[in-house]
């Protein structure tokens, strides 16, 4: 799949891993839609960064937990760039609570954004991605580690991994691959929030490589899956975590 003329949607791309993915895909030749929910200034900053290096990008607001907004996201992308070839489902939330302390509202919100949002975007992509397309979901190594206080988050991402495997089979004959990337501890605001310096240091020491991942580490794996050299990788969960699990 040559990236010339190809279009990628990256959900939750205004900061963190999503921002790194959007800028790297743009540098590789994709026209990129920087999706955001509530941070237009940050999203426009990503667009300007891409434009400053000669890339093409547009910021489009949409809440992925709402099907009608996802439909609008895909329609607007097609209007601006002519179609969609790659979907990166990066939008997500994380709040640490034990299962006993997790409110119904927090559980429902986590599932709504992380799992239902991914489902909504995958459904839209299944109807509109062009031949040779790619769907890349973001999961988490927490699914493998099953650490305390990550119950709602891990449950939402376990569902994402299963959807990934199922849809890879459902798109038989379409020449579209569906994979997921499961980062380990990565130095982003989402990871740091709610953790003490001691907890962060403990996570830093967990991988044999003895460091936290950086957003660019994850973006490089996503860029591989989005590119022409990954055509024989399908239905897989790639744990980009420095060897933790």
Determine whether 153 is an active site residue: yes
Q: Two tokens at 100?
A: 């006993």
From residue 47, how far is each of 4, 36, 57 by CA, in Å?
Answer: 19, 12, 5
Exactly one of 119, 153, 191, 203 is catalytic; name it. Answer: 153
Q: Two tokens at 66?
A: 């709402």
Three-state SS sequence of 168-192: HHHCCCCCCEEEEECCCCECCHHHH
Tell me how far apart the alpha carbons of residues 96 and 104 are, in angstroms, rounded to a whole number.
14
* Strands laid side by side in the 237-238 sheet: 56-61, 31-36, 7-10, 86-89, 134-138, 177-181, 237-238
Mapping DSSP to helix (H, G, I), strand (E, B) and coil, where does residue 36 land?
strand
Mapping DSSP to helix (H, G, I), strand (E, B) and coil, where does residue 83 land?
coil
Catalytic machinery residues: 153
């Amino acid at each position: 799949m040559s990236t010339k003329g190809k279009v990628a949607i990256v959900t939750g791309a205004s900061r963190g891993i999503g921002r790194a993915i959007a800028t790297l895909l743009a540098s590789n030749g994709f026209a990129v839609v920087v999706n955001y929910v509530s941070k237009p200034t940050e999203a426009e900053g990503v667009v300007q960064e891409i434009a400053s290096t000669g890339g093409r990008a547009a910021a489009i607001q949409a809440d992925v937990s709402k099907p009608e907004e996802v439909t609008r996201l895909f329609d607007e992308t097609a209007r601006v760039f002519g179609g969609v070839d790659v979907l990166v489902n990066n939008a997500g939330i994380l709040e640490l609570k034990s299962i006993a302390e997790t409110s119904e509202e927090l559980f429902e919100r986590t599932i709504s954004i992380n799992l239902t949002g991914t489902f909504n975007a995958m459904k839209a992509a299944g109807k509109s991605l062009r031949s040779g397309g790619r769907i890349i979901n973001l999961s988490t190594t927490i699914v493998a580690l099953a650490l305390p206080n990550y119950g709602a988050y891990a449950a939402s991402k376990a569902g994402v991994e299963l959807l990934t495997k199922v849809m890879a089979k459902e798109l038989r004959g379409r020449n579209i691959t569906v994979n997921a990337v499961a980062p380990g501890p990565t130095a982003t605001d989402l990871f740091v929030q709610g953790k003490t310096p001691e907890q962060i240091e403990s996570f830093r020491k967990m991988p044999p490589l003895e460091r936290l991942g950086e957003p660019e580490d994850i973006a490089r794996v996503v860029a591989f899956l989005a590119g022409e050299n990954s055509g024989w990788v399908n239905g897989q969960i790639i744990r980009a975590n420095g060897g933790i699990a």
